[in-house]
Structure 1
Amino acid sequence: MSVLLIEAFYGGSHKQLMDLLQEELQEDCVLCTLPAKKWHWKARTAALYFMQTVPASTKYRILFASSVLNLAELAALRPDLGKLKKVLYFHENQLAYPVQKCQERDFQYGYNQILSCLVADVVVFNSAFNMESFLTSIGKFMKLIPDHRPKDLEKIIRPKCQVLYFPVRFPDVSRFMPEHKLAHLEKVIGAKRNEDGYQSEDLSGQQKSRALMKNSKAQCESGLCEAQPGLYTTQHEGLPSPLTAPARSNQSEASESTNPCQEDDKQHLTFNLSNILSGQDYQQRPLHVAWPHRWVEAVYCGCYPLCPKALVYPEIFPAEYLYSTPEQLFKRLQNFCKRPDIVRKHLYKGETAGFSWAALGGKFRSLLAAEPREDL
């Protein structure tokens, strides 16, 4: 158990990452968490809680934590943990996270993250935008201090920083993907595997599912099939989630992510399978507009991304999927609603394979590899 995983807000993407690392590292790690409630209190007091609850061990070599934790406080309260190689992962940063008004940004939370970066050995961000928006905001942020301001903090922190995208273990989407999109997905992933030399997700399961879907088509000709609920994710407490209601109302549409002929006693979906798989009726059905919260997953599952030309989106999506003004967004949505076949026939021109655990797993393993130190 050489890796100590600490998550002060164990929910949503924070939980997803820690669970993935724990599963991959298996016997080589210990996971300590706090529930995903009252985020602000966790950010301010978690270090004191973990001081008392993290078990002492001489086997620890690496401490991996998200930036919710005040790493400086924990290192001071537990000198034994302060000696470890400390890796801090930023899902988001408090210097650039949107607030309604500037005066609503609480100084202490951004200040905590700066202190954590100064103490950490490696600081990892989930995007270049996240990293640059944090680093370039430090100077302006510290000017809020009335006098005796520290200097050159960005220069001290930047050499420790790197970008490592959030790893996704993509689900098997072959059960509900249209045939032309599934064929395209298999082609892209196969080509990427050959070019980069990494092991992509096993497509044999998807191919088997395609065969199963074709074989079960005759069994579903009545048009009455039942589907299990789809994948759900959570979001930080207190963080804004615009357009949540429309997305929630379309849970039955998202639930096609599992075998349409499996039973589930919580939710049922009725549809004509032959019309969904192909044909004019499928192409002309009304569009469903969703706010997925997890874009890299939504696109993989066949959604057409339509994102603002701002924040992290230009880093992830090709230019044709971005809009600059609300008027542009309205016009594009209007056009898609008039011609839903444009979206349904569209083959995504970006790539998602690079965000998979298969592509990023090796980098995370290297990050969590212990480096020999005399004081360990």
Structure 2
Amino acid sequence: MKILVIEPYLTDSHQRWIDGFRDEVTWEVQTLTLPARHWKWRMHAAAITLSGLLDSLNYTPDVLIVSEMMDVALFKALICKAGHGHLPILLYFHENQLCYPISASDEDHKKHFDNHYAFINYTSALTADQLIFNSTFHQDVFLNALPKFLKGFPKPNTIECQPQLAPKSTVIYPGMSFRLMKPHQRYNNPHPIILWNHRWEYDKNPRLFFDTLTNLNDLNIDFRLVVIGKSFGKIPKAFSEAREEFSDKILQWGQVKSINDYYTWLARSDIVVSTSLQDFFGISVVEAMYHRCWPILPNRLAFPEHIPKEFQSECLYDHDADLLPLLRKAIDLHPRYCSAMDNIMAHIKRYDVSAVNAQYKRLFAKIFSTKGS
């Protein structure tokens, strides 16, 4: 089988998703991608650019997998004109614009222009042959938000089309190449190392993270700090303030040079904390967990899916005020938690590429048997 993965907005995490998909499979996989810049323009114009590249590509795929940054309706219309309309399109939702928290500085949102990008996600979902979501949370929140969203438009508002989506929806977690990571390379740290390995953006809620560390410091609890990740826009002020405040505790600050360096810092760290307002899966958290970092996560979004039921009270906090005592407990009980990490790592092994690609194999068999009947 020949598969073409089309990614209009190639972030590092999306690249790792593609790499994981290609890993340990017998299918022939090619890619068409565009850099992760100007996301709104990508949602408008990537379909035009990438359909043209598909037409000129010396490759005849059996199936297309595209991400949610694609306007699939426009893309489908253009490839039909070029004779590729028979190709099944699988739409993979890493995120969606209907349920994404909006930055207060976004002028388009203030003018209600951003509804257009959510509507592109909706029409893309209607057009695609199969919808794939990266978590159960993501599938549920997107499908459940559509009726209210569509009711906000003039009639006929197409709300009667929305029930078409659930029967062709499924959840396949991002395949993760755990074999490339270093979960057994551990360090005996004299002080607990707290890790931030997420994007440096408003939706990751860095202010709560750093405010909690300030409170931890005020309690005279010693720790060290690793802050890695990258930003695609204006960096929140909380980062520059924290760099000054915790200068004597910082072991690493900023984006690292290589994926190998990244994995090394994960292996050196003890506790990973998320304060995110938006994570439809949370690859950075799972990567840290696989490197045996104890997770302290919000009890919302996709995070509960990563934690076995018996450990959720030790790992998930319900309210912002609950973060400090849970983090303090993780520091106090870290030696005991280290032994419990085996159970958590066993839980997340379902995200390994071997398990995930078995799901794709079953999905492809279903799609082609349906088309052949």
The equivalent of 2:354 in structure 1 is 358
Distance 1:374 1:329 in 2: 50
Kept in 2: contact 1:177–1:301 (CA 8 A): no
Kept in 2: contact 1:173–1:258 (CA 8 A): no
**Residue 371, structure 1, aligned to residue 372, structure 2:** no
The equivalent of 1:312 in structure 2 is 302
SS in structure 1 at match of 2:8:
strand
> Cα distance 1:59–1:43, how it changes in 2: closer, same or farther (>3 A)?
same
Pick from 155, 160, 184 the counterpart of residue 174 of structure 1: 184
The equivalent of 1:114 in structure 2 is 122
In structure 1, stretches of 5+ residues that fail to align are 179-229, 270-275, 277-285
Question: 1:335, CA displacement in angstroms?
Answer: 3.4
Equivalent residue letter for 1:61: D
> Cα distance 1:289–1:311, how it changes in 2: closer, same or farther (>3 A)?
closer
Kept in 2: contact 1:139–1:153 (CA 8 A): no
The equivalent of 1:65 in structure 2 is 66
Question: 1:328, CA displacement in angstroms?
Answer: 1.5
The equivalent of 2:29 in structure 1 is 29
Distance 1:258 1:90 in 2: 24
Distance 1:359 1:345 in 2: 25
In structure 2, stretches of 5+ residues that fail to align are 189-225, 275-281
> Cα distance 1:336–1:4, how it changes in 2: closer, same or farther (>3 A)?
closer
Distance 2:128 2:47 in 1: 14
The equivalent of 2:165 in structure 1 is 157
Q: Aligned pairs, how many? A: 300
Kept in 2: contact 1:12–1:233 (CA 8 A): no
Kept in 2: contact 1:11–1:234 (CA 8 A): no
The equivalent of 2:144 in structure 1 is 136
The equivalent of 1:85 in structure 2 is 88
Question: 1:153, CA displacement in angstroms?
Answer: 2.7
Moved more, 17-26 or 42-51: 17-26
The equivalent of 2:2 in structure 1 is 2
Kept in 1: contact 2:350–2:356 (CA 8 A): yes
> Cα distance 1:133–1:155, how it changes in 2: closer, same or farther (>3 A)?
same
Kept in 1: contact 2:271–2:296 (CA 8 A): no
Pick from 325, 334, 349 the counterpart of residue 331 of structure 1: 325
Question: 1:84, CA displacement in angstroms?
Answer: 0.6
Distance 1:359 1:27 in 2: 15
Equivalent residue letter for 2:299: K
1:128-165 deviation digits (Å, cap 9, x = unpaired): 11001100111111123233211223211111100111
Kept in 1: contact 2:8–2:35 (CA 8 A): yes
- Report the TM-score, using the length of structure 2 for normalisation: 0.68
Question: 1:58, CA displacement in angstroms?
Answer: 7.7
> Cα distance 1:24–1:45, how it changes in 2: closer, same or farther (>3 A)?
farther
Moved more, 78-87 or 63-72: 78-87
> Cα distance 1:363–1:336, how it changes in 2: closer, same or farther (>3 A)?
closer
After TM superposition, list the pairs within 5 Å mapping 1:121-270 onto structure 2. 121-170=129-178, 171-176=181-186, 237-238=232-233, 249-251=250-252
- Report the TM-score, using the length of structure 1 for normalisation: 0.68
Question: 1:40, CA displacement in angstroms?
Answer: 1.5
CA-based RMSD: 3.9
1:34-75 deviation digits (Å, cap 9, x = unpaired): 011111111111001112222356832101111111111011
Distance 1:231 1:100 in 2: 22
Distance 1:314 1:105 in 2: 33
Question: 1:105, CA displacement in angstroms?
Answer: 7.0
Kept in 2: contact 1:304–1:348 (CA 8 A): no
Equivalent residue letter for 1:366: R
Give % identity.
Answer: 26
Larger Cα Rg: Structure 1 or Structure 2? 1
Kept in 1: contact 2:10–2:34 (CA 8 A): yes
1:228-265 deviation digits (Å, cap 9, x = unpaired): xx997656x3598897677994438x99x999xxxx9x
Kept in 1: contact 2:3–2:61 (CA 8 A): yes
Kept in 1: contact 2:21–2:175 (CA 8 A): no
Q: Point out the structure with the larger strand share.
A: 2
